[in-house]
Amino acid sequence: MRKLLPGLYSIDMELIKTKQELNEKIIQLRNENKTIGFVPTMGALHQGHLSLVEAAGKQCDEVVVSIFVNPSQFNDPGDLERYPRDLDKDMNLLKNTACELLFAPSVEEVYPETDERVFDFGALDKVMEGEHRPGHFNGVAQVVSRLFEMVKPDKAFFGQKDFQQLAIVREMERQLNSGIEIVACPIVREADGLAMSSRNMLLTKKHRKSAPLIAKTLKESCNFVPFKNIAEIKAFVIGSINGDENLGVEYFDVVDGNTLQPVDRWEDSSYIVGCIAVFAGKIRLIDNIIYKNPGK
Ligand code: PAF
């Protein structure tokens, strides 16, 4: 990667489709003593992904991005089928970013045989996304661990929108102990507050119009902390969002930011996060808000 000015790169990004080619490139970079930053994605890239690439470019010598729609993490076949795919568009978006290698393997390349591994994340995956999307995080761990093994990065970058995924990936890395630093990056939002997501492009016009209410309500609920108790905050958030006929809350949980277990009182933890999943028509959106953060 050649940095021209901060945030401006001149790169002939290379598209790689096989593990063998990727391995050769990684060996070459390692021989040059380059540090490697990795951004795993499922494509349908947006500014949120690009912010991860940018963070990786700042912290590492070279950046590898993967695009792979991982079948093993979809518990709903309709969701897998609908998931947007457009490699040319994604490649255009990655041009002149810090991305040096784009790894876009086939399903056979990633899973030459079915992955039978079952991870044990204790209580972390029994709540929220884990509860509503059975098997989802096992699939995420299967693919992320495989990609980590192939890319062998120094650091891997994940967005905080997928708050629970981040906790699961950290726990997976703790168990596998492969020495990869997991870097969390802030949520990137549209001008109207909607958290950026590849699924946003699947929203119908009326659902897209309603969707910003999710972020708006979460933000508003912050003003009530600590004056209203957690049960009241939950009732406010769920009531406000369900008040829009185009939106339906699947869950809104207020949890400890490390254990992800529900918290009943503000004084029960120093790190408290509200995590939500909402159906906007057939499209499921997630978002979260940090109510209390020990780091701040
Ligand atoms: O967050 C995502 O896009 C996916 O879950 C990930 C981490 C790329 C694994 O498929």
pLDDT tops 80 at residue 7 = no
Task: Give pLDDT, residue 96.
Answer: 83
- Cα–Cα distance for residue pair 204/210, rounded to 1 Å: 10
- Cα–Cα distance for residue pair 35/59, rounded to 1 Å: 9
What is the residue with the minimal CA distance to atom 5 of ligand 1? 140
Q: Is the CB of 144 under 6 A from ligand 1?
A: yes
Mean pLDDT rounded to a whole number for the chain:
95
**Tokens read off for 114:** 């079915």
Please give the DSSP secondary-structure letter assigned to residue 225: T
**Tokens read off for 204:** 């119908």
The full set of domains in the chain, from first to last, is 2-185 (3.40.50.620), 198-290 (3.30.1300.10)
Task: Give pLDDT, residue 296.
Answer: 67
- Cα–Cα distance for residue pair 283/211, rounded to 1 Å: 10
**CA of 42 relative to ligand 1 center, distance in Å:** 6
Contact, 104 vs 87, CB < 8 A?
Answer: yes
- Cα–Cα distance for residue pair 250/277, rounded to 1 Å: 5
Peptide bond into 77 cis (omega under 30): no
Task: Give pLDDT, residue 294.
Answer: 86
Q: What is the mean pLDDT of residues 160-173?
A: 98
**2-6, 94-98, 185-189, 252-256: range with lowest mean pLDDT:** 2-6
Closest atom of ligand 1 to CA, residue 144: 9
* Secondary structure (3-state) at 213: helix
Please give the DSSP secondary-structure letter assigned to residue 262: B
pLDDT tops 90 at residue 42 = yes
Task: Give pLDDT, residue 85.
Answer: 95
Which residue out of 46, 49, 132, 136 is catalytically annotated?
Answer: 49
pLDDT tops 70 at residue 3 = no
From residue 258, how far is each of 32, 106, 174, 272, 273 by CA, in Å?
37, 34, 14, 9, 9
What is the residue with the minimal CA distance to atom 2 of ligand 1? 41
Task: Give pLDDT, residue 5.
Answer: 56
49 included as an active-site residue: yes
Beta strand 99-103 pairing with 62-67:
parallel
Task: Give pLDDT, residue 6.
Answer: 57
* β-pair partners for 278: 249, 285
